[in-house]
């Protein structure tokens, strides 16, 4: 019987397929939104990426703030935002995996540097126990962006939320697992007893207990079950 009681997941690139954009942006819905807003938005977003790569932001929250400014500048609306959120597909096998984990009595948690709307979608559809997302948008009745909330839950910040949930359930790291795909998840992989790199960046593969590598277009999330 598995000693794992709680499993943490990344979201974009792990549960959902990454954005198809060929840009150098952070993969996932941030890139997808910039792409949907047009070429000029992509150029502006690329500039924030360059600033990130050169270490000009104090932290992830400041990068989010600049990306939000790009969205506002290029006229983001709730209709466009919702369309992008709903356009992402799960990898094959994701729903089956969460159903199996629920059957086994394992708790699940999602920690993402993406949007709460997308995390809410995953929580609702997959029955995830706990969800933390970096950015939540609030909208006016006419569909214009009214305000937002940002949480520092990416890179090292993800670990703080992980430890919070571990402590709430009285669990030790060796009773927890993590599944992710990005090099920004290395800190999470090292903070638990078991970690699985799912078709992941080389840096995360090296930091993880196990690694699943599948051809693009033939991914099957059920492969992770053999390690849990």
Helical residues (DSSP H) of 134-215, grouped into ranges = 157-168, 186-189, 202-207
The domain defined by 6-17+90-227 folds into Rossmann fold (3.40.50)
Angle made by CA atoms 206, 226, 19, in degrees to the nearest 5: 60
Once rounded to an integer, what is the mean pLDDT over residues 93-101? Answer: 98
The predicted pLDDT at position 156 comes to 81
Sign for the pseudo-dihedral over CA of 58, 64, 68, 71:
positive
Q: How far is CA 202 from CA 18, 74, 119, in A?
A: 17, 35, 25
Strands 130-139 and 145-150: antiparallel
Sign for the pseudo-dihedral over CA of 33, 189, 151, 91:
positive
| Longest Cα–Cα distance in the chain | 53
Once rounded to an integer, what is the mean pLDDT over residues 173-187? Answer: 94
What are the tokens at 52? 């990130």
Residue 26, pLDDT above cutoff 50 = no
Q: How far apart are CA 157 and CA 134, in angstroms?
A: 10
H or E, element range at 42: helix 39-53
H or E, element range at 11: none
How much helix, strand and coil, in percent to the nearest 5, is found in the chain? 45, 20, 35
pLDDT, tens digit, 9 for 90 and up, residues 99-119: 999 999 999 999 999 999 999
Residue 23, pLDDT above cutoff 60 = no
Q: State the Cα torsion 180-46-83-102 to the nearest 10°.
A: 10
Could you tell me if 209 and 195 are in contact, meaning their C-beta atoms sit under 8 angstroms apart? yes
Could you tell me if 154 and 118 are in contact, meaning their C-beta atoms sit under 8 angstroms apart? no
Higher model confidence: residue 28 or residue 174?
174
What are the tokens at 22? 């060929």
Partners of 136 in the β-ladder: 149
Q: Specify the pTM.
A: 0.92
Residue 2, pLDDT above cutoff 80 = no
Once rounded to an integer, what is the mean pLDDT over residues 129-148? Answer: 97
The predicted pLDDT at position 71 comes to 97
The predicted pLDDT at position 17 comes to 86
What are the φ and ψ backbone dihedral angles of 38, each rounded to 5 degrees?
Answer: 115, 175
């Amino acid at each position: 019987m598995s000693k794992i009681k709680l499993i943490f997941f990344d979201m974009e690139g792990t549960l959902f397929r990454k954005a198809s954009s060929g840009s150098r942006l952070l993969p996932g819905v941030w890139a997808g939104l910039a792409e949907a807003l047009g070429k000029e938005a992509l150029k502006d977003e690329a500039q924030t990426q360059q600033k990130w790569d050169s270490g000009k932001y104090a932290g992830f929250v400041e990068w989010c703030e600049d990306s939000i400014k790009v969205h506002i500048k290029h006229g983001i609306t709730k209709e466009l935002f919702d369309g992008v959120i709903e356009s992402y597909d799960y990898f094959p096998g994701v729903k089956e995996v969460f159903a199996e984990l629920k059957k086994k009595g394992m708790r699940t948690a999602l920690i993402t540097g993406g949007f709460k709307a997308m995390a809410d979608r995953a929580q609702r559809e997959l029955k995830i126990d706990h969800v933390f997302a970096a950015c939540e948008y609030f909208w006016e009745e006419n569909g214009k962006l009214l305000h937002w909330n940002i949480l520092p839950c990416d890179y090292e910040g993800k670990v703080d939320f992980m430890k919070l949930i571990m402590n709430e359930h009285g669990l030790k790291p060796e009773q927890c697992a993590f599944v992710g795909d990005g090099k920004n998840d290395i800190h999470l992989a090292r903070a638990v007893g078991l970690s699985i790199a799912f078709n992941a960046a080389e840096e995360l593969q090296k930091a993880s207990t196990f690694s699943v590598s599948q051809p693009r277009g033939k991914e099957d999330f059920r492969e992770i079950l053999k390690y849990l």
